[in-house]
């Protein structure tokens, strides 16, 4: 088996979950992501800062007519580099899981 390389930025459990939730959608609201992950604003912001710094996540603040105040919604999406990194990381995990499963079945024989 070739050496599997993890992406250290995405490998952290919460950042992997963030990437996994952003992967199938065009964009997601910060509050929706926070609620789906059941984390605080500060925790999510910290991990998003790392992903944004790596060029994996793009954020865009936009005002909305649905709100009566001046607050803006923060939209988040994976960048093309983020999608590529997430997909490669998942493939690496699948390769490892496949190798482990194969080894388990071989030792059972």
φ, ψ for residue 38, nearest 5 deg: 55, 50
> What is residue 48's predicted lDDT score, i.e. its pLDDT?
98
Please write the tens of the pLDDT for every residue from 82-92.
999 999 999 99
Q: Is the pLDDT of residue 79 over 90?
A: yes
Residue 100, C-beta contacts closer than 8 angstroms, at least 6 positions apart: none
The C-alpha atoms of residue 44 and residue 58 are separated, in whole angstroms, by 14
For residue 76, the SS3 value is strand
Would you identify the CATH topology of the domain 8-108? Arc Repressor Mutant, subunit A (1.10.10)
Could you state, in order of their start, the residue ranges of all structural domains in the chain?
8-108
Please write the tens of the pLDDT for every residue from 18-54.
999 999 999 999 999 999 999 999 999 999 999 999 9
> What is residue 1's predicted lDDT score, i.e. its pLDDT?
45
CB–CB of 10/23 below 8 Å? no
- Name the pTM for this structure: 0.81
Residue-by-residue DSSP string for 84-101:
HHHHHHHHHHHHHHHHHH
């Amino acid at each position: 088996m070739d050496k599997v390389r993890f992406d250290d930025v995405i490998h952290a459990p919460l950042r992997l979950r963030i990437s996994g939730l952003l992967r199938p959608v065009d964009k997601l609201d910060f509050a929706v992501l926070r609620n789906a992950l059941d984390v605080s604003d500060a925790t999510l912001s910290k991990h998003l800062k790392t992903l944004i710094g790596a060029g994996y996540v793009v954020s865009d603040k936009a005002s909305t007519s649905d709100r009566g105040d001046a607050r803006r919604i923060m939209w988040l999406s994976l960048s093309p580099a983020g999608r590529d990194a997430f997909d490669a990381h998942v493939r690496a995990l699948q390769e490892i899981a496949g190798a482990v499963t194969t080894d388990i079945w071989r030792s059972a024989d």
